[in-house]
A and B are shown apart, each in its own frame.
Chain A
C-alpha cells in the first residue's frame, strides 16, 4: 500500500515541477519591473533549467 502511494505521488511530481516552473515567470517579470537584480534572473534561469531537465 505504501509503495502504491509512493507511485501515485511520483506520478504527480512532473505536474508539480511544471507548476513550479510556471511560477518563476511572474517572479522574473516582477524583478525586471522593479529591482532589476541580475542575481534573481540568473537564479530563476538556473532553477527553471534544472526543473525542465528533471
Chain B
C-alpha cells in the first residue's frame, strides 16, 4: 500500500465526514441553546430571524441530500466569513448579554451566505465540495474541472468540456 502525500490530508472522505457529522451545526446549535438559557431576551428579540436562518440551513441540507445523496460540504468563502462573525458575536452575546447592531449585521450576512450556499447547490452539476462562491459554481457548470469529479467520484470521461488543472 502506497503512502499518500501530505496534500491528501484533506481527503474526499474527510471532507464528507466533517459535513456528515456536522460538528459545526451541533456546536453552534448548542451555543444557541446556551444563549437561550443564559440570555433568553436575545432569542426573543430576534426569534423570527434565527428561525429563518435555521429554515434556510434545512432547505440547503435537503437540496444537497436530494440532488447529490450527500450532506453538502460546500465550504464557501462567505461561509468562512460567516463563521468568523458568528464566533465574534457569540462571544459578545455570551459575555455581555446583548449584541445590538452587530447581531443585526450577523443575521443580514447569514441571509446573504445562505442564499449563496443554496445557489451553489442548485447550480452545481456534481457534488459541491469546496466551491468558493456561486459565481465559481456557475463557471464550473459551464466548464467543469477535474477536481469536481475527484470530489464527486463520478467518471470524468463522459464530460466533453472538461478542463484539467
Contact = CB atoms under 8 A, between A and B. Distances in A.
Per DSSP, chain A at the interface is: helix
A11 B37 CA distance: 38
A33 B33 CA distance: 10
Interface residues of B, number: 28
A10 B6 contact: yes
Nearest to B94: A41
Interface of A: 3-4, 7, 10-11, 13-15, 18, 21-22, 24-26, 28-29, 31-33, 36, 38, 41-42, 45, 48-49, 52
B49 to A, nearest CB: 20
Contacts of B23: 18, 21-22, 52
Given A41-B94, A52-B83, A22 B21 contact: yes
B119 to A, nearest CB: 23
Contact of A4 (B3, B6, B21): B3
Given A24-B27, A28-B34, 4 more contacts: A14-B10, A21-B23, A22-B23, A36-B38
